[in-house]
Amino acid sequence: MIWLEGLSYLVTILGFPAAIFVIVREERLRRANEVSELHRSLSQEYDGFLRMVMDNSDLLLMSQSQLPEPVSQEQCERIEIIYRMLLSLFEKAFIILHSDEMDTEARRRWSSWEDDIIEWCQRDHFRQLLPKLVEGEDPQFRAYILQLGQEAEGSAMT
């Protein structure tokens, strides 16, 4: 009978910390899976956006050059709407994936998005509309993308 009591103490002493360890580990895995799923979802949205850009190839959005004049009002509106959709997607990615203290995996995921943002900021037309497009957006995201736009403009001039 005494050995059963000793065994119950042993289970309590070892089992409780082990249970806490398992719960913490499972929570970390759950969070990592959520972030991976969010990244996958955002990537699918970006793929859809690129398909829309392809469907609107007459707007030359992937080109480094401007649309030939004259640009119709309808084309200007389509461009602005498409750029707003892109900016909204970038803002979502920034809010969900970006942080000042990222581990290696998070930095890798964010670098992929940052590359896409920089690529778009290098396009003159997007960069010209950027101050108008970021009005009312998340303040941190706004400062971040405007800085990238300024850096892209600076590198385009050199």
- Long-range contacts of the stretch 106-110 (C-beta < 8 A, 24+): 106/35, 109/35, 109/39
How many Å apart are CA 1 and CA 144, to the nearest integer? 68
Helix 139-157 / helix 104-121 crossing angle, nearest 10 deg:
60
How many Å apart are CA 122 and CA 110, to the nearest integer? 18
How many Å apart are CA 108 and CA 63, to the nearest integer? 27
Check residue 87 and give its pLDDT: 96
- Dihedral of CA atoms 11, 12, 17, 20 in degrees, nearest 10, equals 100
| pTM above threshold 0.85 | no
In the chain, what are the domain boundaries? 2-157
Show pLDDT as tens, one digit a residue, over the chain (158 residues).
677 777 777 777 777 788 888 888 888 888 878 888 888 999 999 999 999 999 999 898 988 767 777 888 999 999 999 999 999 999 999 999 998 898 898 899 999 999 999 999 999 889 999 999 999 999 999 999 999 999 988 876 66
